[in-house]
C-alpha cells in the first residue's frame, strides 16, 4: 500500500529548503482567512463610517446643530481614508493581508482621538465624550484580531488605544481613577482578544493538520481502508473470501527503456490515476503498486457479497479506461499500451500486517498467487482478462463468460479452467 518512497510526501522543498506540508497548509489556511476578513471588514468599516458621516451631515448641515458641524471636515477626511482602504482591501497582496491589522492602531485609533478631541472646546463636560471613546477603542480590538490573528498586533493596538484614551481623559481633567480604570479595561480587552486569537490559530492548525492527514490517507489507501483508519476500527488479521485482481502493462520494460525517467514517471502517474479511480469507483481496495502493475481486491475490509462481480466489472472498466489514454497517445504518435488482468476468488488472510513501525492492510494467501499467475497467463494466451473458475462460479448469472483454456499455473501441479468475460475482446 504505502510504498517506501512515500515518505518523501512528508516534506516539501520550498526555496531550496525542506518544509513540513502541514505547516504550509496551516499558513495557506490562515492567509486565506485573513484575506477574507480584510475584504469583509473593509466593507463593514466603510459602511459604518458612511453611516456616521451621514449622521453628522444630518445633525450639522441639515438640522444646523452647531455642536456637530465642526467635526464634519475631520470625519469626512477619515471617510475618504476608509474608502481608499476599502478599495485596496479588495486588491490585497500577501504583505498587505499580513499587515492589514496595523491600520487600526495607526489610522483608526489616532483619527478617533482627533475626532473626540474636536468636541472638547464645545462641550461643557468634555469628560463624557472622552470616557465614551473607551468603548470605541475596545471595539477596535475586534478587527485587529480578525485581520491579523497576531498577538503582537493585538497588544500593540491595546497599548495605543490605552495611551490615546489616557491622553483624552487627562486633557479633560478626569480623575486618576477614571483614567486608570479605562486603561485597565483596554488592556484587559486586549489580553482577551490575544487569547482568542491564539485559540483560533490553534483551531486552524488542527483543522489543517487533520485535513492534510486525511488527504494523505486518501492518497495511499482506498476509501474503505482510510475510513477504518480514521475511525480506529482496523481489525487484526482475519480469514475472508475475497476476489483478487492483478493488472500489468505488457512490454512496459521495453517501452520504458526508450523514455527519459521523468517521462516514465509521468506515464505511470497518468495510467495509475485512471486505473485507481476505476478500482475505487467499483468499491475495490488498492493493495499496492507493482511498478506498472496493480494489486487490488474486493470484499475487504468492507464485506461485499457481490465482490466477484465487482472485480470482473472493474476489470472491464479498466480496459475501457485504457482506451482514452491510448487515443491521446496515438494523437501524439506514441504506441498504445496493452494491459493484462487476472482475477481469482478464494480465501485469504486480510488485516493490518507487518512490523510495529511499518504496517499495511493487505491480503496474503494462495488465492493471491493464483490471481497473479492468471495475469501472467494473459500474456501467453493473448486475452486482456482471464478469470478463474472460482470467480466465474461466484459471479453467477450477473455476467456472461466464454471458456478460455485449461492451463498450468506456475507453482501449481493441476490445470485450472479460465474464462474471458464477454465484452473483453482479443488483445
- pLDDT tens by residue, 146-192: 888 888 999 999 999 999 999 999 999 999 999 999 999 999 999 99
Tell me, yes or no, whether 390 lies in a domain: yes
Tell me, yes or no, whether 221 lies in a domain: no
Q: Are residues 261 and 178 in the same domain?
A: no
Tell me, yes or no, whether 142 lies in a domain: yes
Tell me, yes or no, whether 226 lies in a domain: no
pLDDT of residue 112: 93
Q: Are residues 241 and 188 in the same domain?
A: no
Query: Of the given ranges (43-57, 92-106, 211-225, 232-246), which has the lowest mean pLDDT?
Result: 211-225
Tell me, yes or no, whether 141 lies in a domain: yes
Tell me, yes or no, whether 228 lies in a domain: no
For 357, phi then psi, to 5°, come to -90, -10
322: CATH? 3.30.70.1230
Q: Are residues 203 and 331 in the same domain?
A: no
Cell numbers for 270? 497518468
Domain count, the chain: 2
Query: Which of residues 152, 183, 216 is at a domain's end?
Result: 216
Quote the Cα angle for 192-195-201, to 5°: 140
Q: Are residues 246 and 160 in the same domain?
A: no
d(CA 359, CA 104): 53
- Helix, strand, coil share (%) of the chain residues, nearest 5: 65, 15, 20
Domain span including residue 281: 235-421
Tell me, yes or no, whether 230 lies in a domain: no
3-state secondary structure 374-425: HHHHHHHHCCCEEEEHHHHHHHHHHCCEEEEEEEECCCCCCEEEEEEECCCC
Closest alpha carbon to 221 in 296, 291, 293: 296
Beta bridge partners of 386: 342
User: What counts of helices (H) and strands (E) characterise the chain?
Assistant: 14, 10
Please say if the pLDDT value at position 361 is more than 90: no
Q: Is residue 277 within a helix (H) or strand (E), and if so which, with residue range?
A: helix 261-281
Q: Are residues 172 and 296 in the same domain?
A: no
d(CA 141, CA 192): 10
Q: Are residues 161 and 249 in the same domain?
A: no
- pLDDT tens by residue, 315-324: 999 999 999 9
pTM of the prediction?
0.54
Does residue 209 contact residue 25 with C-beta atoms inside 8 Å? Answer: yes
Amino acid at each position: 500500500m504505502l510504498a517506501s518512497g512515500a515518505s518523501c510526501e512528508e516534506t516539501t522543498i520550498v526555496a531550496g529548503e525542506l518544509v513540513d506540508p502541514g505547516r504550509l497548509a496551516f499558513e495557506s489556511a490562515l492567509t486565506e482567512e485573513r484575506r477574507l476578513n480584510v475584504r469583509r471588514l473593509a466593507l463593514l468599516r466603510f459602511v459604518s463610517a458612511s453611516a456616521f458621516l451621514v449622521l453628522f451631515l444630518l445633525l450639522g448641515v441639515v438640522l444646523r446643530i452647531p455642536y456637530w458641524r465642526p467635526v464634519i471636515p475631520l470625519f469626512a477626511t477619515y471617510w475618504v481614508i476608509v474608502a481608499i482602504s476599502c478599495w485596496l482591501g479588495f486588491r490585497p497582496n500577501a504583505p498587505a493581508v499580513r499587515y492589514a491589522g496595523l491600520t487600526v492602531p495607526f489610522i483608526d485609533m489616532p483619527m478617533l482621538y482627533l475626532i473626540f478631541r474636536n468636541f472638547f472646546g464645545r462641550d461643557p463636560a468634555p469628560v463624557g465624550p472622552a470616557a465614551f471613546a473607551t468603548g470605541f477603542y475596545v471595539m477596535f480590538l475586534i478587527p485587529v484580531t480578525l485581520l491579523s490573528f497576531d498577538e503582537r498586533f493585538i497588544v500593540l493596538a491595546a497599548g495605543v488605544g490605552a495611551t490615546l484614551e489616557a491622553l483624552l481623559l487627562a486633557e479633560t481633567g478626569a480623575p486618576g481613577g477614571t483614567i486608570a480604570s479605562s486603561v485597565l479595561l483596554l488592556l484587559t480587552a486586549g489580553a482577551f482578544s490575544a487569547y482568542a486569537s491564539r485559540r483560533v490559530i490553534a483551531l486552524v492548525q488542527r483543522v489543517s493538520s487533520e485535513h492534510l492527514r486525511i488527504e494523505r490517507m486518501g492518497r495511499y489507501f482506498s476509501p474503505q481502508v482510510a475510513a477504518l483508519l480514521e475511525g480506529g476500527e482496523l481489525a487484526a488479521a482475519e480469514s475472508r473470501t475475497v476476489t483478487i485482481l492483478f493488472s500489468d502493462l505488457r512490454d512496459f520494460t521495453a517501452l520504458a527503456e526508450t523514455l527519459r525517467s521523468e517521462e516514465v514517471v509521468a506515464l505511470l502517474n497518468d495510467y495509475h490515476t485512471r486505473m485507481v479511480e476505476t478500482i475505487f469507483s467499483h468499491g475495490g481496495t488498492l493493495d499496492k503498486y507493482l511498478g506498472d502493475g496493480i494489486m487490488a481486491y474486493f470484499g475487504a475490509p468492507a464485506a461485499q457479497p457481490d465482490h466477484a462481480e465487482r472485480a470482473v466489472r472493474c476489470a472491464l472498466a479498466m480496459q475501457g479506461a485504457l482506451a482514452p489514454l491510448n487515443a491521446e497517445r496515438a494523437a501524439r504518435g506514441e504506441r498504445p499500451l496493452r494491459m493484462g488482468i487476472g482475477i481469482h476468488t478464494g480465501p485469504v488472510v486480510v488485516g493490518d500486517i507487518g512490523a510495529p513501525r511499518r504496517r499495511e492492510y493487505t491480503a496474503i494467501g494462495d488465492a493471491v498467487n493464483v490471481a497473479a499467475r492468471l495475469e501472467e497467463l494473459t500474456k501467453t494466451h493473448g486475452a486482456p482478462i482471464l478469470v478463474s473458475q472460482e470467480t466465474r462460479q461466484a459471479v453467477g448469472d450477473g455476467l456472461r463468460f466464454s471458456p478460455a483454456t485449461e492451463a498450468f499455473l506456475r507453482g501449481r501441479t493441476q490445470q485450472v479452467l479460465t474464462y474471458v468475460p464477454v465484452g473483453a475482446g482479443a488483445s
